[in-house]
Structure 1
Amino acid sequence: MAIRTGEPAGRLARLRRTSGNVAVVAVAPYLFIKVLWAFGLFVPTEEMGGADWRAANAATAVLAAVGIVLALAFSRPWGERLPAWLVALPVWVGTGLLVPMLLLAPVLGPAAMNRDQDAGAPDFWIYEQILVMISLVGAGVGLPLALLGYARARWPEALGGPLDRGEPAGSSRALQATAARLLAVGCVLLGAVKVYWAAGGTLGIDPDRLDGRDIWWHLLTLSTGVWALAGAWGLVVLATRRGTRWFLPPMGAAWISSGMLFSYSVYNLLTLTDMQQPAPEHPLAAAATREAGAVLGVLMGMVVLLVLHDRRRAPGGDGGTSAPERVRVG
């Protein structure tokens, strides 16, 4: 009986190409708008023409350009020859930014447009917002799918198979388990605070800014809390090798959660300007949760890397050998 191994590989190659192209086309309008805003053109309000806002838009324009390069790398043969860290770092940050936002986009998009209209933004701002939302959704769908095909070709051990593949010589499992449990405590505390605030709790909220808790703030706060809790679960399961049979669910939870906690903390720090509407949280509470998220995200990412390193060297892993069905994208 003949076994046709080329057909799945061909489907995977087409998935990579198509998803990468979708991401490039989707991100292009976002990059264009952000470049215009960075130069102070077509800004919807006078305050967004200030130096701080323009710097923030320039930073996000750079992120958009990186996203386009990544989409091309995921869908082209030369992408598999890039150094692993050069791919993994922006992917970690990008998935942390995009995946949570993609889940909230159907609600946050209209809410943001209504809020800006109430604030007196001009009509053309609505069309810019629509383009931005289309870009974010397209990137949030296209980039992860292209990454899925890319990772299956380059790092198959990072996506599939059973949770426990055995321990290699010199395994750091004891260190992983200890670090994961400590970090999980921090994630649970941060998640509980965020969920408490999202549910209407006022401890740690500035009494003079209670009216600033709009639907945008509530959903983003709840999203951070939920992802922090999901990351705590995923990290402990990965490090202890207990809790589920399969590797992908806890890996996805820990990867997205760590990237989300880090990237949103850094983004909030970059957009912390005097011109912006003050956050409802008390400044000390906002700073504490923001810094905690950044530190937890980085340390969680380090534990995930330790897990992946041991998994690749494990008796049931690939041991660094190339897969016979490695996909090449033409």
Structure 2
Amino acid sequence: MTSTTPADRVRGVAAWTAVAATVPYLTLKLLWLTGHPVGVGSADELDRLWTANLLTFGMDAIAVLLALSFVRPWGRRTPAGLVAFPMWVATGLLGTILVALPLSLLVQLVSGPGTGAGSDDGPVGTMAGWVVPVVYGGFTVQGIALITAFPLYARQRWAGLLRSRIGDLPRSPTLALQRTLACVAGLLALGVAAARLYWAAGGTTGLPQAWADEHNPGVAVMDGVTAVMAVAATVALLVPVFRIGPERRLRVPLAVAWTAAGSLFGWGSWQLVAFGTMTEVTELRRAVPGPVPLVQAGQVVAALLMLVVGAIALVERAAAERTAAVESAG
């Protein structure tokens, strides 16, 4: 009989809480996908949003599989990439909501009614008042639960990595390439940060006229959070790549880069996909000038470069550990 530790029990509760938190959202999406306009104005709106609803249904279904992988035996046998990549994206998406949602609510309280953040699923004005609280309440619980369960899963599966220090990373022949890619990613991310910070502060240059005329404070909060994530990801990546503070624990910059780069990739990708699939914004999409999609694409490319640098460094570290273990055994 396998004994369970307090950490195992916390991980189990958090994982099953994450699964339960997806039920309202998945149920709502399933109703919309099958043509039942629960909480929306009409079935015509659902037709225009069908592809986007299918994508978001699939994303939340993947979150269920992730949560189960943290507590089921097959989760330890699953290839690392199949767990790490979707969790990287999920951390970025849900972690950003955990930061931006309370800030948006605060802005709404300060600015008065009618200024809050909107739903990503369609025009808020056509939705019942309960839809946004149900959706974002579920996301909040899901985010807290997954971000609680995953570190406990990672501590069990990759304990050596989390205990290591920055100086333990090998100085491999690819280090120059890693540093070059990291600098390119950092420059892209800082450009994204500058644009997002400008829009968050109320700037309208480069925005479509519809957005410039009605600047949503909730959107401004998201722009501000994205700017902070871009700067944080850059700094957190450069620290281990340039071996700054070799005696410091690797897990701190790793956690920051993981979350911030995941935010850049997740939200940048979602915004690009949303503009390509939601037919209700066709006219707006035609009106969007170059800077908006360029900024969105820039943050996705920056995040992918950060992912490549991190993957190279961690794979080489694992290979060095295996080599050292073989040599010591021999």
Fold agreement, TM-score > 0.5: yes
Shift of 1:144: 1.3
Taking the aligned partners of 1:210 and 1:236, their CA distance within structure 2 comes to: 35
How has the CA–CA distance of structure 1 residues 120 and 187 changed in structure 2, closer, same or farther, with 3 Å as cutoff? Answer: closer
CA contact (8 A) 1:234 1:250 kept: yes
How has the CA–CA distance of structure 1 residues 120 and 90 changed in structure 2, closer, same or farther, with 3 Å as cutoff? Answer: closer
Shift of 1:140: 0.6
Instruction: Give secondary structure in 2 for the equivalent of 1:17.
Output: helix
Residue 25 of structure 2: aligned partner: 30
Residue 102 of structure 1: aligned partner: 98
Instruction: Give secondary structure in 1 for the equivalent of 2:49.
Output: helix
Does residue 53 in structure 1 map to residue 32 in structure 2?
A: no
Q: Deviations over 1:139-177 (max 9, x none)?
A: 111111111111111112443432211526x45222212
CA contact (8 A) 1:31 1:61 kept: yes
Instruction: Give secondary structure in 2 for the equivalent of 1:283.
Output: coil
Q: Deviations over 1:35-71 (max 9, x none)?
A: 1122232141348724341211111111111111110
Taking the aligned partners of 1:47 and 1:201, their CA distance within structure 2 comes to: 36
Residue 326 of structure 1: aligned partner: none
Residue 134 of structure 1: aligned partner: 137
Taking the aligned partners of 2:167 and 2:315, their CA distance within structure 1 comes to: 13
Taking the aligned partners of 1:146 and 1:129, their CA distance within structure 2 comes to: 25
Residue 192 of structure 2: aligned partner: 190
Taking the aligned partners of 1:40 and 1:112, their CA distance within structure 2 comes to: 26
Q: Match for 1:303 among 282, 303, 309?
A: 309
CA contact (8 A) 2:269 2:300 kept: yes
Length-normalised TM-score, structure 1: 0.84
CA contact (8 A) 1:16 1:146 kept: yes
Shift of 1:306: 1.2
Question: Which blocks of at least 5 consecutive residues in structure 1 are unaligned?
Answer: 1-5, 322-330
Taking the aligned partners of 1:90 and 1:16, their CA distance within structure 2 comes to: 18
How has the CA–CA distance of structure 1 residues 119 and 312 changed in structure 2, closer, same or farther, with 3 Å as cutoff? Answer: closer
Taking the aligned partners of 1:319 and 1:61, their CA distance within structure 2 comes to: 45
Does residue 283 in structure 1 map to residue 279 in structure 2?
A: no
Residue 78 of structure 1: aligned partner: 74
Q: Match for 2:89 among 68, 89, 93?
A: 93
Question: Which blocks of at least 5 consecutive residues in structure 2 are unaligned?
Answer: 109-115
CA contact (8 A) 1:27 1:135 kept: yes
Taking the aligned partners of 1:48 and 1:163, their CA distance within structure 2 comes to: 55
Residue type of the partner of 2:199? Answer: W
Instruction: Give secondary structure in 1 for the equivalent of 2:305.
Output: helix
Does residue 234 in structure 1 map to residue 236 in structure 2?
A: yes
Length-normalised TM-score, structure 2: 0.84
How has the CA–CA distance of structure 1 residues 28 and 158 changed in structure 2, closer, same or farther, with 3 Å as cutoff? Answer: farther
Q: Deviations over 1:67-122 (max 9, x none)?
A: 11110111222210111121112111111111011111224467247999x96446
Listed as ranges, the matches of 1:123-272 within 5 Å are 125-167=128-170, 170-207=172-209, 209-243=211-245, 245-272=248-275
Instruction: Give secondary structure in 2 for the equivalent of 1:202.
Output: coil
Q: Deviations over 1:14-39 (max 9, x none)?
A: 12111101111111111111111222
Q: Size of the alignment, in residue pairs?
A: 310
CA contact (8 A) 2:33 2:46 kept: no
CA contact (8 A) 1:20 1:146 kept: yes
Residue 3 of structure 1: aligned partner: none
Shift of 1:319: 6.3
CA contact (8 A) 2:268 2:300 kept: yes
Instruction: Give secondary structure in 2 for the equivalent of 1:271.
Output: helix
Shift of 1:205: 2.7
How has the CA–CA distance of structure 1 residues 212 and 314 changed in structure 2, closer, same or farther, with 3 Å as cutoff? Answer: farther
Residue 112 of structure 2: aligned partner: none
Q: Please tell me the root mean square deviation across aligned C-alpha atoms, in Å.
A: 3.0
How has the CA–CA distance of structure 1 residues 158 and 210 changed in structure 2, closer, same or farther, with 3 Å as cutoff? Answer: same
Q: Percent same amino acid among aligned pairs?
A: 29
Taking the aligned partners of 2:139 and 2:34, their CA distance within structure 1 comes to: 21
Taking the aligned partners of 1:237 and 1:114, their CA distance within structure 2 comes to: 36
How has the CA–CA distance of structure 1 residues 162 and 186 changed in structure 2, closer, same or farther, with 3 Å as cutoff? Answer: same
CA contact (8 A) 2:32 2:46 kept: no
How has the CA–CA distance of structure 1 residues 120 and 291 changed in structure 2, closer, same or farther, with 3 Å as cutoff? Answer: closer
Shift of 1:207: 4.8
Residue 328 of structure 1: aligned partner: none
Taking the aligned partners of 2:43 and 2:193, their CA distance within structure 1 comes to: 33
Residues 149-158 or 53-62, more deviating: 149-158
Shift of 1:131: 1.8
Instruction: Give secondary structure in 1 for the equivalent of 2:205.
Output: coil
